[in-house]
Amino acid sequence: MILILCANAGVDRTYSVPEFSAGHYHRPEHVLVAAGGKGVNVARVLVSLGQSATVAGFAGGRSGSFAAADMRSAGIRTSLTQIREEPRTTISIIDPRNRRITRLDEAGPLVSPNEIETLRRQWIAALPGAELAVISGNPPRGVPRGLYAHFLQYAARENVPTALDAHEDFLQESLVGHPQLLKPNLRELSWLAKRPLDVPDGVVSFSRELLRQGVGTVLATLGKQGAILVGREGPALLVTAPEMEMVNSVGAGDASLAGFLAAWQEGHPLAERARWAMAAGAANCAALSAASCTRERLEELLPRVTVEPLE
């Protein structure tokens, strides 16, 4: 089982609106309503690739109950902490004709110290059953910056390998938890480096710096350009993404993280994990709903990913 912390899980509403423009009346062509949040996306793709996934996080009010029920109907197990406030709703308006996405991201609930303590206990209780532990996305308001580092350390104590995908302060402060896998995109990595990183040299040299700080492997994703993988052994690898007719890029990074983790669970070496990550990320972009990548789609795309050494 792969345990995933999705501290800011909520409800995602996706509308397909050709020629969407602000200030006008529109009737959406399609409406999708589902549990969302980065960790939920990761879990969804893991389950569709045949893995068992448990989402830990907060769930409050009626939207929280909806999100929990929707996760379970997708085959995701849940270990959720009840909270007083409602989770956030995120709205994505896709304009398929002009290939534009408009997003409204609510701030999410304010969680209390007691609620955080309950989450901490649930995380520790779930770890012994986990083969991998993943932290995906920044948490809602009220969560102290150091919490993720502690969560990574609890996993390490149980010998459960960890993966982290967060941004800005939560990314920075979590590094002392020494995640085995870090999955930043170029913007997040540059923020961490405090300078714009060029591709590939800047990305490779800063990733090596992170390895010296105790990170196991860096998978830096670069949108349609693919990704750079830097591990402790062997040269850095440039991995390309198959060219796709882009429909919805929301969740591409989450799908790529799930692809990497699924390959890891199946015992594949690093280069193959990166290949799975690229195929899953690309599959995600070609569908309207976030976090969509079937096993068949993955297998179809894998031969179109190239992996080449950079050094």
Minimum CB separation of residue 94 from ligand ATP in Å reads 14
Residue 222 near ligand ATP by CB under 6 A: yes
The site that binds Mg ion (CB under 5 A) totals a number of residues, namely 1
Q: How far apart are alpha carbons 228 and 85 in whole angstroms? A: 39
Structure tokens at 291: 């976090």
256 binds, among Mg ion, ligand ATP, none (CB under 5 to 8 A by kind): ligand ATP
Residue 179 near ligand ATP by CB under 6 A: no
Stretch touching ligand ATP by CB under 6 A, among 85-93, 138-146, 208-216, 220-228 = 220-228
Residue 70 near ligand ATP by CB under 6 A: no
Residue 231 near ligand ATP by CB under 6 A: no
Q: How far apart are alpha carbons 291 and 287 in whole angstroms? A: 9
Structure tokens at 4: 């995933």
Residue 217 near ligand ATP by CB under 6 A: no
Please answer whether residues 34 and 63 qualify as being in contact, where contact means their C-beta atoms are separated by less than 8 angstroms: no
State the pairing for strand pair 227-230/237-239. Answer: antiparallel
Among 162, 256, 265, 292, binds ligand ATP (CB under 6 A): 256
Stretch touching ligand ATP by CB under 6 A, among 29-37, 65-73, 141-149, 221-229 = 221-229
Please answer whether residues 168 and 138 qualify as being in contact, where contact means their C-beta atoms are separated by less than 8 angstroms: yes
| Chain centroid offset of residue 255 CA | 7
Structure tokens at 253: 């990074």
Q: How far apart are alpha carbons 109 and 183 in whole angstroms? A: 25
Residue 241 near ligand ATP by CB under 6 A: yes
Residue 259 near Mg ion by CB under 5 A: no
**Residue 276's closest CA among 46, 47, 54, 77?**
46
224: which residues sit within 8 A by CB, 6+ positions away?
241, 243, 244, 246
Site for ligand ATP in 274-303 (CB under 6 A): 278, 281-282, 285
Among 36, 177, 253, 281, binds Mg ion (CB under 5 A): 253
Which residues of the chain form contacts with Mg ion (CB under 5 A)?
A: 253
Which residues of the chain form contacts with ligand ATP (CB under 6 A)?
A: 185, 221-224, 226-227, 241, 244, 246, 249-254, 256, 278, 281-282, 285
